[in-house]
Structure 1
C-alpha cells in the first residue's frame, strides 16, 4: 500500500467489532436458505477486528484499488417494503447508477433482497403451509436477516458461465464482452445511525488464493443433523466464497448511511489486475448509543464491457 494511501486512511475514525470467519471444520460447506432463515454447515468464530469508518474520506476510495465506493444515489422508491413499487422502479435505478459508476456498455440487474437486523415477522402455520403449497420459496424479493459471516456471494470458477448466460439473454446476437463485473448495490433505508451496518474488505488486502466454496441451497425447510451433509448435486448450484481469518484483511464501513446513498462493491471482476472482489459482512457497531435497527436492500447486477 502506498505511503500516501496509508497516511490518509489512518486519519479515519475506527471501531472494534467481532467478525465471524470460517473455522476448521467439515469439507462440505453449504448455505441453506428458507423464508427468513439462513443456516450454514460451516462453523464460524468471532475475531476481534478493527473496522475503519470511511465517511470523512469517502472520495479516497476507488473500484480498481479498494473494490468499493460510496455513491450519492437518490431514489424515487417511497416504500422499500412495497414489493410492487420496488419491482416497478428499483432495477432501472440500479442499472443506471451502476452503468454510470463503472462506465459499462451494458448492465443487467439480476435480483434484490431486503435484510434487517431486527425481528423478522413469521406467518402462522396455516399461512406458511399455504405459501409452501402455492410456490417454492425463492431467494429474491424477500426479507432475510443481516449476513453474519465474512463472504463474497460469488465463487470465482462459476462466474464466466453465469455472465455469458446473462449477456446472451440481454443482448441476443450482441458483439460479446471483454470484461464483466458482478456487484452488489447496497442501500440502507432505515434511520441512521444503524446498529448493524455492512463492512467491506479492501480488495488489496485479500490474496487471490483465499476463499472456500459455500454452495447455496434454497429450500422449503432447513435440514438438520446429518441431512445437511447428505449427497447433493453441489456442482450444479450457485456458490459463494467464505473466508478464514487473515490478519492482513483491512476493513471499512460508512457510518450513518442515508437512504439516498448506496455502497457499490464488487463480487467478481474478470479483470484480476485490479481489485476484483470484496469480502463483506454485517457487524454490530457499538459506536453510537442511539443506533437504530438496520433495514437495507441489496440489488445484484452484472456490468459488461463490450
Structure 2
C-alpha cells in the first residue's frame, strides 16, 4: 500500500567507480555456477581501498523447486513485455511517461503491492557518441555495494510521500516500505558479459556494511531531492560491503530483454536484512570483453504496506493451472476485497509441494486469538478457498 519509486542500474545512485574495473578470471562449471573475484571494500574508514575476494556466484536459474523470490532471497526474475524500442531509452520523457507505468505494473503483479511509484532510471551503455546525463551512464559499478544508507532510503521515502493523500500519510509512516531495483537488458541478445550479481539478503548482516555519507564540495549544499538531482543527492550516501564467507552470491545467466530482474535495495523491516549488496562483474577477462554495445535500464521501486495489530500477513505463491509461472503477491486480511473474512484456510503438509491437508478451519479476521498458538511459531504451508481469480493459491502463512 504505498508509493513505489524509480531506479537506476548497478549504481545510478552511487556515483563513479573508484579505481579500475577489475579483471575477473572466471570459469563456468557445468552447473552454471561461476568462480569469480568480486571487489569488496577493504578500508573500514573511508571506503576508498578495495580488495578482490574469491567467491562462488551461483546460477540462480538452478534453484528449485520454484526459484528465488523477493521474500525469501531478496531477488527474483519475472517475465516482462514492452513495446518500447531500445533507442527510446535515450529519450528520457518517453521513458518516464510510458516505461515507468509498465515497470510499476510488473512490480505490482510480482509483489502484490497496492501502490507502486517509479522515481528514477539509468541507462548503462558503451556508446562513445552518447553523452552521460542524470539518466544515461557509461559506467558500471564493479564494487560490492548497496545503493542507499538507512538515512538516504528514508529521505527517498519521504520524498515519494509528497504525492500521497494527507489522510494516508500516517498509515504509510507506520507501515513497511522497500526500495527495489528493477534491472533489464535492452539488447535483443542475451547478456553474456557485465552480469549483475546479487547477494542473498539473508546472508548479509549489518556489521558487514560501511556507510558512506554525502560529501558536497566545500561551501556547497546538497540540492533538494528530485528526479533531476537524484543521482547527485544519492550518489554520496551508500553502503559498501566488507567480505564475509557467509555471503551467498547469485546471477541469472543469459538474461533476455523479456525478463526483469528485481532485487531489494533497502527494507525498512528491522527483522530482515536491510541493505543486501549487488555488483556488476565481467564473465571474462577484461581483454575479452565484446566490442558490441551492451545497454541496460534499471528502475528502483519503493512500495509499502500497512499491517495493523489484528491483521495477518499472508505471503503467497500463486501458481497458475499449468504450473508454468509463479507469481508472488501479498494478501492482507481482512480488508482485501478478493477474500472473504471467513475464507477457508487448509494447512498443508510441512513439505513444500505436498498437498495432503493437515488442518482445516474457518479463519475470522476479527478473531486472531482463535488461531492455534503453534501456528505462530513457524511458517506453515497453506491453501486458500475460495480461490481468488480462479488461480490455486498456496504459500506460507506468516503470523505477526
1:111-190 matches, within 5 Å, as 111-116=120-125, 118-121=126-129, 139=134, 141-175=135-169, 176-177=171-172, 178-190=175-187
Partner residue of 1:52? Answer: 58
Q: CA separation in 1, counterparts of 2:128 and 2:43?
A: 31
- Give how far 1:74 is off: 1.3
Partner residue of 1:86? Answer: 95
Q: CA separation in 2, counterparts of 1:149 and 1:83?
A: 27
User: Which of the pair has the greater relative contact order for Cα pairs under 8 Å at 6+ separation?
Assistant: 1
Matched, 1:96 2:105: yes
Q: CA separation in 2, counterparts of 1:28 and 1:231?
A: 21
Partner residue of 1:17? Answer: 36
Task: Name which one, 1 or 2, has greater alpha-carbon Rg.
Answer: 2
Q: Give the unaligned 5+ runs of structure 1.
A: 1-9, 30-41, 124-136, 219-226
Q: Deviations over 1:70-111 (max 9, x none)?
A: 111112211233434322211101111112222112112110
Contact 2:127-2:138 at 8 Å conserved across structures: no
Alpha-carbon spacing, 1:157–1:143, altered in 2? closer, same or farther (3 Å): closer
Alpha-carbon spacing, 1:192–1:216, altered in 2? closer, same or farther (3 Å): farther
Q: CA separation in 2, counterparts of 1:12 and 1:231?
A: 54
Partner residue of 2:75? Answer: 68
> Could you say what secondary structure the match of 1:106 adopts?
coil
Q: Give the unaligned 5+ runs of structure 2.
A: 1-28, 225-232, 307-400
- Give how far 1:170 is off: 3.4
1:243-258 matches, within 5 Å, as 243-258=241-256
> Could you say what secondary structure the match of 1:173 adopts?
helix
Contact 2:208-2:244 at 8 Å conserved across structures: no
Partner residue of 1:264? Answer: 262
Q: CA separation in 1, counterparts of 2:83 and 2:273?
A: 31
Contact 2:127-2:293 at 8 Å conserved across structures: no
TM-score after normalising by structure 2: 0.58
> Could you say what secondary structure the match of 1:71 adopts?
strand
Report how many aligned residue pairs link the two structures. Answer: 258
Alpha-carbon spacing, 1:216–1:194, altered in 2? closer, same or farther (3 Å): farther
Q: Deviations over 1:143-197 (max 9, x none)?
A: 2311110111010234234313312323343252211010101001122232111
2:199 counterpart (187, 192, 201) = 201
Q: CA separation in 2, counterparts of 1:72 and 1:89?
A: 18
- Give how far 1:114 is off: 0.6
RMSD value, Cα: 3.0
Q: CA separation in 2, counterparts of 1:55 and 1:293?
A: 25
Partner residue of 1:210? Answer: 208
Q: CA separation in 2, counterparts of 1:152 and 1:13?
A: 25
Contact 1:193-1:290 at 8 Å conserved across structures: no
> Could you say what secondary structure the match of 2:37 adopts?
strand
